[in-house]
Chain A
Amino acid sequence: MIQISNLSKYFDDFCAVDNVSFTIQPGEVLGFLGPNGAGKSTTMKIITGFLAPSSGDVSVLGHNVLKDPISAQLEIGYLPEGAPAYADMTVSDALTFIAQVRGFSGDELKRRIQNVVEKVELQSVLGRRVENLSKGYCRRLGIAQALIHDPKVLILDEPTDGLDPNQKHQVRELIRNLSKEKTVIISTHILEEVSAVCTRAMILSAGKVVFDGTPDDLAAKSDLHNAVRIRLQSSSQAILTELESLNEVQKVSQDDAGMITVFPINGKAILSAVNTVLHKYNSLVEELHVESGQLDDVFRKVTLNNNQARPVKQEQSA
C-alpha cells in the first residue's frame, strides 16, 4: 500500500506537484496520465525516495520514505524515466550488478536473473553492451532490473515508450499478470494503455489531480460516451429531425462521409430508441455502433480546463 498525503514539490518557484493526496491499495494498477510536465515523474521520484518533497508525507508499505528510504526502496522496483542503464556494461553484467545490490548471490542470483530475462525476453542480447542496445531492449532491461527482487511495489515511468506494438502488448501482458497482490504505478501518454492494464486512472495536470477513477469512469466523461454512430444507405432530413427530437438525445450531427452521430444526454443508453426510429423509416443500416467514449477527448477536456497559471510558492510571512 502506498499512502501519499499533502505532497508538494517546488523547484525554486515552480510548483511541480501541488498538495496531492491519495492512497493505492495492493492489487491496484494505477495509471498516471497527464500532459508533459504535469508532475507524474516528479511524484514517482518522490515515492521512490530519489527526490525529497517540499512538504507532505509518503509511506510505502508502512515505511516512511522520507525517514527510512532504504526500507521502502527494498520493497520497490523502479523503472526511471528514459530507462537509464550503465552504457559500458553488458546486459548480463548490468542485471548481476542490480541483483547483487539487492542482496542476492550464488544460485539464487542466477535463478533470479534467468527468471526476469525470460519474462522480458532478453536472452538474445545478454552479452551485448548496453550502449549498443535498441531503445526497445533498453526499456526491457529497465523493466527486468525493476522486477529482479520480485518487489511488492512496482513503479514504472513510461514502461512502453519506444517499444513496437508487439513489445507493447507483451509488456502490458506482463504488468497484467503480475499485479495480483502487487501495488503498481505506471505513467503513460498512451490513453488506451490505461484501459488495457490499469484498474484505476489518475490524471495530473499542473501538479494537481484532476481526475481519479476507473478507466470506465474516465470514458464515461466523454461527450461521445454511449453515442450511437450510424451509416444509412440513404438518409433523409426527416430521420435526422426525428432522431434529434428523441427525449434522451442531445444533438445529432452528420459528417461529410454521411456518418450520423447521435449524442445522448448525460451518456444515457439510446440505442433502442434510435433503433425504433430507424425501423419506422425502414432505413437500410450499413454500419451501426455504440461509442464507449474517446479518451483523448476527455483528456483534453480535463487537462485544458486546468491550464491556469500554477500557484507560486507563498512567501513566508514573518
Chain B
Amino acid sequence: MSPINIILKRELSAYFATPVAYIFIVIFLMLSGVFTFYLGRFFEQGQASLVSFFNFIPWLYLVLVPAVSMRLWSEERRSGTIELLMTLPITTSQIVIGKFLAAWLFVGLALLLTFPLWLTVNYLGEPDNGVILAGYLGAWFMAGGFLSIGSCLSAATKNQIIAFIMTLVVCFLMIVSGFPIVQDVFSNWAPLWVVDGFATLSFLAHFEAISRGVIDLRDVIYFLVLIAAWLYATVLVVDMKKAD
C-alpha cells in the first residue's frame, strides 16, 4: 500500500470511529431533504429534475463541509500526534493528500446517500439523468474545493472552532464573489478585469455551469487547480506551524 493510501485509510476510519461521521451523514441527508422538498418547492415546480436540490447544496456545504475539514490538522496539532506522523518516513505532501482524499471520499459518500432523491424523481417522471449525474459531479468537485480550503485553514490553528469559522467565512466569500453585493464593492473603482476576475473565481458560477449538464473542461480544471493550490498552501502552512 502506498503511503497516501495508508493515511487515507486511517483518516477515513477515524471519521467512523467516533459518532462524527454518522451525525454528519444524518444531518446532511435530513437538511438536503428539507431544502429540496420544502424550501425548494420540489413538488410545486412540477419538474422531474433535481434542480431544487442542487440549488441549495452550495449553502448546505457551506455549513457542513467546514465541520468535516476542521479536525484534519487542528486535532493533530492539539494532541501532538503531528510529531509522531511527521517523523515517520513519509513526506508532508503525502500526508496532506491522504488526509484530503479521505475527507473528500467521506463527503462523496454522504452525497451518494442522497440517492433516494434520484429514485424519487425517476419514479415521478422522466428526468434527464445525464444532467443529474453532472450535478452530482459538480457538487463533489465543489466539496473538494471547500475541503482544500478547510484543510489549509485547519493547519493554521490548533483550535477546531477557529478552523471551522475561518473556513466558513472564506468559503462564503468564494461562493458570493460573483454576486452583485461583492461586485458592487469593486465596480466603482476597480478596473473591469479585476471585477471579472473575482466573478470567475466564484464557486457558484462553475458549479452551476457543470450542474446544468455541460461538463466544460474549464470548469473541471478550475476546481482541480483550486484544490491543488490550496493543498500546496496546506503543505507550506503545516511545515511552518507544525512545531508551534
Q: Do A and B bind each other?
A: yes
A interface residue numbers (CB < 8 A to B) = 45, 48-51, 70-71, 73-74, 76, 78, 80-82, 84-89, 93, 97-98, 100-102, 105, 145
**B217 interface contact, C-beta 8 A:** no
- Which of B79, B91, B243 sits near A87, CB closer than 8 Å? B79
Which residues of chain B have C-beta atoms less than 8 A from A82's C-beta? Answer: 80
- Which of A48, A71, A86, A93 sits near B87, CB closer than 8 Å? A48
In the complex, the answer to whether B14 meets A78 with C-beta atoms within 8 Å is: no
B interface residue numbers (CB < 8 A to A) = 1, 3, 6-7, 10, 13-14, 17-18, 79-81, 83-84, 86-91, 242-243
Which residues of chain B have C-beta atoms less than 8 A from A88's C-beta? Answer: 14, 17-18
- Which of B1, B18, B88, B242 sits near A98, CB closer than 8 Å? B88
Total number of residue pairs linking A and B with CB closer than 8 Å: 64
Q: Tell whether A84 pairs with B84 under 8 Å between CB atoms, given A97-B6, A101-B3.
A: yes
Which residues of chain A have C-beta atoms less than 8 A from B90's C-beta? Answer: 70, 101
In the complex, the answer to whether B91 meets A70 with C-beta atoms within 8 Å is: yes
Which residues of chain A have C-beta atoms less than 8 A from B83's C-beta? Answer: 45, 50, 80-81, 84
Interface CB pairs A-B, < 8 A, 12: A73-B87, A74-B89, A78-B84, A80-B84, A80-B87, A85-B84, A87-B79, A88-B14, A88-B18, A101-B3, A101-B7, A105-B1
Write the nearest CB–CB distance from A220 to chain B, whole angstroms.
Answer: 36
- Which of A76, A80, A97, A105 sits near B80, CB closer than 8 Å? A80
- List the 7 closest pairs (A to B, CB-CB), nearest first: A84-B80, A88-B17, A80-B83, A73-B89, A48-B87, A84-B81, A74-B89
Q: How far is the CA of A227 from the CA of B10 in the complex (A)?
A: 58
Which residues of chain B have C-beta atoms less than 8 A from A100's C-beta? Answer: 1, 6
Which residues of chain A have C-beta atoms less than 8 A from B14's C-beta? Answer: 86, 88-89
Give the residue name and chain of the A residue nearest to B18 (CB). Answer: A88
- Which of A45, A86, A101 sits near B88, CB closer than 8 Å? A101
Give the residue name and chain of the A residue nearest to B14 (CB). Answer: A88
Majority DSSP secondary structure for residues of B touching A: helix
Q: How far is the CA of A78 from the CA of B82 in the complex (A)?
A: 13
- Which of B7, B17, B87 sits near A49, CB closer than 8 Å? B87
Which residues of chain B have C-beta atoms less than 8 A from A105's C-beta? Answer: 1
Q: How far is the CA of A85 from the CA of B80 in the complex (A)?
A: 8
Write the nearest CB–CB distance from B10 to chain A, whole angstroms.
Answer: 5
Which residues of chain A have C-beta atoms less than 8 A from B7's C-beta? Answer: 101
Write the nearest CB–CB distance from A95 to chain B, whole angstroms.
Answer: 12
Q: Tell whether A101 pairs with B89 under 8 Å between CB atoms, given A50-B242, A86-B14, A89-B17.
A: yes
Give the residue name and chain of the A residue nearest to B5 (CB). Answer: A100
Give the residue name and chain of the A residue nearest to B83 (CB). Answer: A80
Which residues of chain B have C-beta atoms less than 8 A from A145's C-beta? Answer: 84
Which residues of chain B have C-beta atoms less than 8 A from A84's C-beta? Answer: 79-81, 83-84
Q: How far is the CA of A73 from the CA of B86 in the complex (A)?
A: 9
Which residues of chain A have C-beta atoms less than 8 A from B1's C-beta? Answer: 100, 105
Q: How far is the CA of A89 from the CA of B11 in the complex (A)?
A: 10
Q: How far is the CA of A80 from the CA of B87 in the complex (A)?
A: 9
Q: How far is the CA of A50 from the CA of B238 in the complex (A)?
A: 11
In the complex, the answer to whether B81 meets A97 with C-beta atoms within 8 Å is: no
Q: Tell whether A78 pairs with B87 under 8 Å between CB atoms, given A88-B18, A89-B14, A105-B1.
A: yes
Which residues of chain A have C-beta atoms less than 8 A from B10's C-beta? Answer: 86, 89, 97
Write the nearest CB–CB distance from B87 to chain A, whole angstroms.
Answer: 4
Write the nearest CB–CB distance from A239 to chain B, whole angstroms.
Answer: 58
Which residues of chain B have C-beta atoms less than 8 A from A76's C-beta? Answer: 87
Q: How far is the CA of A318 from the CA of B133 in the complex (A)?
A: 62
Known: A76-B87, A86-B79. 7 other contacts (CB 8 A): A49-B86, A50-B243, A82-B80, A84-B80, A84-B83, A86-B14, A98-B88
- Which of B17, B18, B86, B88 sits near A102, CB closer than 8 Å? B88
Which residues of chain B have C-beta atoms less than 8 A from A80's C-beta? Answer: 80, 83-84, 87
Q: How far is the CA of A88 from the CA of B86 in the complex (A)?
A: 19
Write the nearest CB–CB distance from B80 to chain A, whole angstroms.
Answer: 4
Write the nearest CB–CB distance from A148 to chain B, whole angstroms.
Answer: 11
Q: How far is the CA of A97 from the CA of B6 in the complex (A)?
A: 7
Write the nearest CB–CB distance from A89 to chain B, whole angstroms.
Answer: 7
Write the nearest CB–CB distance from B96 to chain A, whole angstroms.
Answer: 15
Q: How far is the CA of A105 from the CA of B9 in the complex (A)?
A: 15
Which residues of chain B have C-beta atoms less than 8 A from A89's C-beta? Answer: 10, 13-14, 17
Write the nearest CB–CB distance from B13 to chain A, whole angstroms.
Answer: 8
Which residues of chain A have C-beta atoms less than 8 A from B13's C-beta? Answer: 89, 93
Which residues of chain A have C-beta atoms less than 8 A from B84's C-beta? Answer: 78, 80, 84-85, 145
Which residues of chain A have C-beta atoms less than 8 A from B80's C-beta? Answer: 80-82, 84
Write the nearest CB–CB distance from B239 to chain A, whole angstroms.
Answer: 8
Give the residue name and chain of the A residue nearest to B17 (CB). Answer: A88
Write the nearest CB–CB distance from B6 to chain A, whole angstroms.
Answer: 5
Q: How far is the CA of A295 from the CA of B129 in the complex (A)?
A: 79
Q: How far is the CA of A284 from the CA of B84 in the complex (A)?
A: 60
Which residues of chain B have C-beta atoms less than 8 A from A45's C-beta? Answer: 83, 243
Write the nearest CB–CB distance from B244 to chain A, whole angstroms.
Answer: 9
Q: How far is the CA of A88 from the CA of B6 in the complex (A)?
A: 16
In the complex, the answer to whether A50 meets B88 with C-beta atoms within 8 Å is: no
